[in-house]
Chain A
């Protein structure tokens, strides 16, 4: 496989300050194309701040940040075209149907009507949601919503998709179905940048970064991190870093 060679995200000496508070303290890391990159950290460690910068929603105070080959400072419209985003909340319109949501998001990214139509059909087919395609989102179980939300986030074939706690509160089987979708996306070359509070999910990632108080305190494959911190599992690694 040719994945994991080309850098899709490059962060050098990223600093983000809010007044005197340093939310991101000199972060440097790279994410490779097609990689599943776990971005972990305690509440308030600075994860959200970094994701906002990487997705072009917020400017860094200093440092260089390249996403999908574009500078987040100068070319943020281009950055936005090449990324997908899904958070635990607010990803879909509750009062629109499954089909309407998919078409709406396709429309945002300026895809052609014909393309949207075809892709919507094949997507609904693949999600096995033919029977419920005209149901309102709010009538569906959380796990289904999250699957749809993910499909919508990668509908426009972005180079990177940011997932902010995508599986919170989802039942264990659906959670695993969801991760299979992530694997599939990664397999097709989409880089997945994911945050989670489930430590077993950290092990599904190719590489994991663990933040504490604005800094990256650990960054490697789960296996290497466990070796490095003499830990049985990622849970222990996390506790050792963040406690």
Chain B
């Protein structure tokens, strides 16, 4: 590799505009070799645009973007043969069997299944029993595994996965992330985008993205550290009533449901728990629980969203 810099991907002040909308509004980040980098944000945040520019499928409107030290505009051909890409909602060829799909992608990348079998082995053995089944007849989780195999078949230096776990059930998602972490251990640099905030914790570094702008970029631990406020979890037997009651309190800043608890932040320094309990008891809440908790990525994301607006 003539890779001189330490970065596999370097993006500087990237902008992308379509006819009416600015999808990406000046984004900068870099990804080091062997890193598992997550682009976390909801639909419409600009994730797909960024990935399409990285994979040379689209031109940037402005800014510098290089992948493996190749420029995405001038050297797009060199980039293309060295990356593995799984587009959003990638559906493979439904009318080809598992094995035929894989053989096809191996062939167009000028390789064979055998040549890189080591790399995909862990994943492929899980779908091998169904290798003669048509891809269209596979379950969601299996399709995804096959798609990952296809993206890996030519042993790329970088793997770019656009929302691979969207619409996939929790079990398959978990398995998929386990596979990604094993691939990372083999030295492959991975860029992955996802709307599921809980997946952020599995990345080395994350960029939280919203409305075409990166709100924060750091390790998941640092992102959480930067939350910088006290957070309480509150629970009672009437959750909807609790939301309304807490929102009506003067000293409460934000109220967000998280599972069975509500996460709240305050406008004041500290919380007088007894006072809150008595207010809530007055409003007929039972089984009240209040505790200080540590923020998670989703708390951080929401805080960043509200401060940036």
Quick one: CB contact mask for B178-200 with A, threshold 8 Å, 1 for yes? 00000000000000000111100
Instruction: Report the bound CA distance from A41 to B41 in whole Å.
Output: 24
Does A43 belong to the interface (CB within 8 Å)?
Answer: yes
User: What residue of chain A has the Cβ atom nearest to residue B260's Cβ?
Assistant: A203
Does B13 belong to the interface (CB within 8 Å)?
Answer: no
Q: Quick one: given A176-B256, A197-B168, A200-B259, are A171 and B41 in contact (CB under 8 Å)?
A: yes
Does B248 belong to the interface (CB within 8 Å)?
Answer: no
The contact of B170 among A171, A179, A235, by CB within 8 Å, is A235
The contact of B257 among A41, A45, A179, by CB within 8 Å, is A179
The contact of A242 among B167, B171, B196, by CB within 8 Å, is B171
Contacts of A45 in B (CB 8 A): 169
Contact B42 A203 (CB under 8 A): no
Does A42 belong to the interface (CB within 8 Å)?
Answer: yes
Instruction: Report the bound CA distance from A17 to B166 in whole Å.
Output: 28
The contact of A165 among B43, B167, B171, B174, by CB within 8 Å, is B167
Contacts of B240 in A (CB 8 A): 180, 183-184, 186-187
Interface residues of A in 161-196 (CB under 8 A from B): 165, 168-174, 176, 179-180, 183-184, 186-187
With an 8 Å Cβ cutoff, the count of chain B residues facing the other chain is 37
Does A233 belong to the interface (CB within 8 Å)?
Answer: yes
Does B298 belong to the interface (CB within 8 Å)?
Answer: yes
The contact of B172 among A43, A168, A172, by CB within 8 Å, is A43
Q: Quick one: given A43-B139, A43-B141, A198-B196, are A223 and B174 in contact (CB under 8 Å)?
A: no
Does B302 belong to the interface (CB within 8 Å)?
Answer: yes
Contact B259 A142 (CB under 8 A): no
Instruction: Report the bound CA distance from A101 to B140 in whole Å.
Output: 32
Give the distance to chain B from A67, nearest Cβ to Cβ, in Å.
24
Contacts of A197 in B (CB 8 A): 167-170, 173
User: What residue of chain B has the Cβ atom nearest to residue A142's Cβ?
Assistant: B43
Give the distance to chain B from A221, nearest Cβ to Cβ, in Å.
10
Instruction: Report the bound CA distance from A223 to B260 in whole Å.
Output: 9
Instruction: Report the bound CA distance from A44 to B167 in whole Å.
Output: 12
Does B63 belong to the interface (CB within 8 Å)?
Answer: no
At the interface, is chain B mostly helix, strand, loop or mixed? mixed
Contact A171 B260 (CB under 8 A): no
Interface residues of A in 41-56 (CB under 8 A from B): 41-45
Give the distance to chain B from A132, nearest Cβ to Cβ, in Å.
15
Instruction: Report the bound CA distance from A87 to B20 in whole Å.
Output: 28
Give the distance to chain B from A143, nearest Cβ to Cβ, in Å.
7
Instruction: Report the bound CA distance from A243 to B163 in whole Å.
Output: 22
Contact A41 B259 (CB under 8 A): no
Does A137 belong to the interface (CB within 8 Å)?
Answer: no
Give the distance to chain B from A205, nearest Cβ to Cβ, in Å.
10
**Most chain-B CB neighbours within 10 Å: which of A139, A174, A179, A223?**
A179
Known: A168-B195, A239-B174. 11 other contacts (CB 8 A): A42-B139, A42-B170, A170-B43, A171-B305, A173-B306, A176-B256, A204-B239, A204-B259, A238-B171, A239-B170, A242-B170
Can you give 21 contacting A-B residue pairs, CB < 8 Å? A42-B171, A42-B172, A43-B141, A44-B139, A168-B166, A168-B167, A169-B166, A171-B42, A173-B256, A179-B257, A183-B240, A183-B243, A187-B240, A197-B168, A198-B196, A200-B258, A204-B239, A222-B259, A222-B260, A223-B260, A238-B170
Question: Which residues of A are in contact with B by a Cβ distance under 8 Å?
Answer: 41-45, 88, 139, 141-143, 165, 168-174, 176, 179-180, 183-184, 186-187, 197-200, 203-204, 222-223, 233-235, 238-239, 242-243
